[in-house]
Amino acid sequence: MRTEWEGKLHSKADFQELLMEIITPLIPYYSKEKAQLKLGVTATNYDRRASCLEAFSRPLWGLVPFWAGGGRSQVFERIYRRGLAAGTNPESEEYWGGFHAFDQRFVEMAAISYGLILTPEKVWEPLSGQEQDNLANWLYGINEHELPICNWILFAVLVNLALKKLGRKYDPEKLEYYLKGADTFYLGDGWYQDGDSGQKDYYVSFAIHFYSLFYVRVMEPEDPARCKLYKERAELFAKQFIYWFDDHGAALPYGRSLCYRFSQVSFFCACLMADVTPFPIGVMKGLIVRHLCDWMRKPIFDRNDILTIGYGYPDLIMGERYNGPGSPYWALKTFAILMLPDQHPFWEAEAERMPELEQQISLPYADMLIRRYPNHTTAYVPGKYSPKGHGQTPAKYGKFAYDTRFSINIAKSNYEIHEAAPDNMLAFYINGYVYVRRICEEYRITETEVISKWIPYPGIVVDSTIIPTEHGHRRKHTIISDMECTAYDCGFAVEIDVEGELLTEESSMAQVENGHSLCRVQVVAGDGKGTVIVADPNTNLLHPMTRIPAICYQIQKGKNEIVTEVEAEYCREW
C-alpha cells in the first residue's frame, strides 16, 4: 500500500520523500551493469534494448532536480554513474546500441542531457576520460539521423546544449535549426501544435513548453530575447491551460500518452523552474499538491510499487504502441520543482485553492470549449485530430466530451456496441460493426457551442452541435443517410460495482447512477429509446467497470433530426 499523502505535501523534504517512495522500488530491477532497467515483458514498436534504456533514463526526470536541489542518494548516484558508462560503451554487453532514423534512443537522451546540464557532478565528472568520450560520442548521434517533425526536435536541442556546456563537440547549426523549427509549431495565445500532426494535447505542456522553459533556466543570460519570448508564451498558455484542471486537482483525460499521468501538471512546475509565475505561488502550489494527491489515491502502482501502463489503474487496452514498462516514469517531470533552492517561497507557501475562473470558456487555439461544473470539469471538442494514430486515437480525440471525473472509455473492438464502449459518441451500428466520429470534415467553435461535420460511413453525413448547459450539454444532430440503420447517442460512462448503483431504462430516457455520480440522457427530438450499454470491463480509463446510458435512435433514409439532452453530476467527498 502507498503512503497516504493527503495533507502531507508541503515542505521540500515532503516532495523529496514522495519522489523516493516512487523510485526506490525500482532498485532491484536494474541490470548487472545498471544500464538497463527491466520492469516487464510487454512489447513496444521499438526494440527491447531501447525499452530497457527508456526505463533507465526516465527516473532521471525526478532524480536530476532532486540532486540539483541538494538531495542525496548514494544508491542512485552509483547506479547512474555505472549505467551511463556501460550503456554508452560499445564493448559492453549492455551497450544501448547505435541509431536509425526516428530512434527511440533519441527520446531518452533528453533526460540524460537534463542531468548533464544541471548535475554534471553526479553524472559526468565521476566518469573516466574514456567513459566521457563514449557518452559524448553516443549523444552526438542524434545529429546524424532524421527526427520526426514534432516535439522530438527539442530532444536534439537538449542534447546539443549539454554537449556545448560540457565543452564537447556539438552541432550549433542543428541547435539553431531545431529551435527555429519549434517556433513554426507556434499558433498564438501561448499555444503550439505538436509539429506536423497538428495535435494540441499534453505534448504542448509537458514537452514543448517544458523544454522551452528549461531552455530559459539554463540559457537566459546567453539568449535573452528568445527566453523572454518563451516566458511570455508560457504566461499566456498558463491562463488557459489551468482550465484543464478541476477544483480538486484532476486533469482532463484528453489525447495520447495519458499513461504519463501526473506529468499533466509538470508545466506549472517548469514555470517555477524558469521563474515564471502566471499565478500567485500559493495557487500554483495548491494545484500541484492537489494533482499529486489525486493521483496517489489511485491504484496506479502494482503490488511491487512499480508504476503501471494505464491511467487510473493498470490497463494495457488504452496504451499506445510506444508505451513500454518504463514509459510511465515520464510522470517524474513534475518533480522539476525539487531544483528550487531551499529558500524559495514555494516551500513556505500554503497550498491555495484555484483562482477565480470563468464558468465557461472557449480556447480557440486548443479547439476546445470548456465548462466548469461543481466537482468536475468537461471539455467539448470537434473531433479534429491527425490520422497518424498511435492507438485508440478516435477515443482520445474524437468524443464530444472529456471529463476530469467521468473520464473516457476506449474501444476493445468495434464489432459489438459493448466492446466499442462509445461513451460521449454518436455510434452507428451497421452490418454488425460500430462506426463513430473519426476525423471531422469541418468544424467551428464559438463561445457557446461546438459544431462539426463528419462522415462515419459512406453515405452518411452528420452535422453535430454540442451546447453546454447548466447540468451537462445538449446535442443536436442532423443526419443525412442513404440507408436505414441504428445510432446510439451515448452519455458519460458511470462507475458501477460501487455503493448505490442504479440503472434505469425508459422509453425516452436512460440513467446510470451510483452513490456519488450519475449520468442521464433524454430524448428531446427524434425516434429514440433509452438503453444502458454494458461496457466491457477495463475500457474506462478511471473505472474498471462502467455502464453507459444511451438513446438508441432509428435512422431513416434521408434527413434525420435528433436532439439528446445529457446531464451529469459528480459529488464524491474528498
Instruction: Provide DSSP, 7-53.
Output: TT--SHHHHHHHHHHHHGGGGGGB-TTSS-B-------SS-HHHHHH
- Name every residue whose Cβ is closer than 8 Å to that of residue 373 and which is 6 or more positions away in sequence: 471, 568, 570
Burial 159-179 (b: 16+ CB within 10 A, else e): bbbbbbbbebebbeebbeebb
- Strands (DSSP E) along 164-249, which ranges? 186-188, 191-192
* Per-residue model confidence (pLDDT) at position 574: 54
Q: What's the CATH number for 12-348?
A: 1.50.10.10
Q: Crossing angle, helix 153-165 and helix 104-118, to 10 degrees?
A: 40
What single-letter amino acid sits at 420? Answer: A
**Structural contact between residues 269 and 335, judged by C-beta atoms closer than 8 angstroms:** yes
**Structural contact between residues 521 and 513, judged by C-beta atoms closer than 8 angstroms:** no
* Per-residue model confidence (pLDDT) at position 2: 55
The CATH fold assigned to 360-570 is Beta-galactosidase; Chain A, domain 5 (2.70.98)
Query: Which three cell numbers, joined as nine digits, stand for 294?
Result: 489525486
What is the mean pLDDT of each successive set of 10 residues along the chain, which is 574 residues long? 74 98 98 96 92 97 98 97 98 95 95 98 98 98 95 97 98 97 97 92 97 98 97 98 97 97 98 98 98 97 97 95 96 98 97 97 97 97 82 93 98 96 98 92 96 96 98 98 97 91 94 95 96 97 97 97 97 71
Cβ-in-10-Å burial (0-12, 13-18, 19+) of 472 comes to buried
**Structural contact between residues 448 and 370, judged by C-beta atoms closer than 8 angstroms:** no
Domain spans, the chain? 12-348, 360-570
Nearest to 496 by CA among 477, 516, 476: 516
- Please count the other Cβ atoms lying within 10 Å of the Cβ belonging to residue 16: 20
Q: Can you give the pTM of this predicted structure?
A: 0.96
Length of the chain: 574
* Per-residue model confidence (pLDDT) at position 384: 85
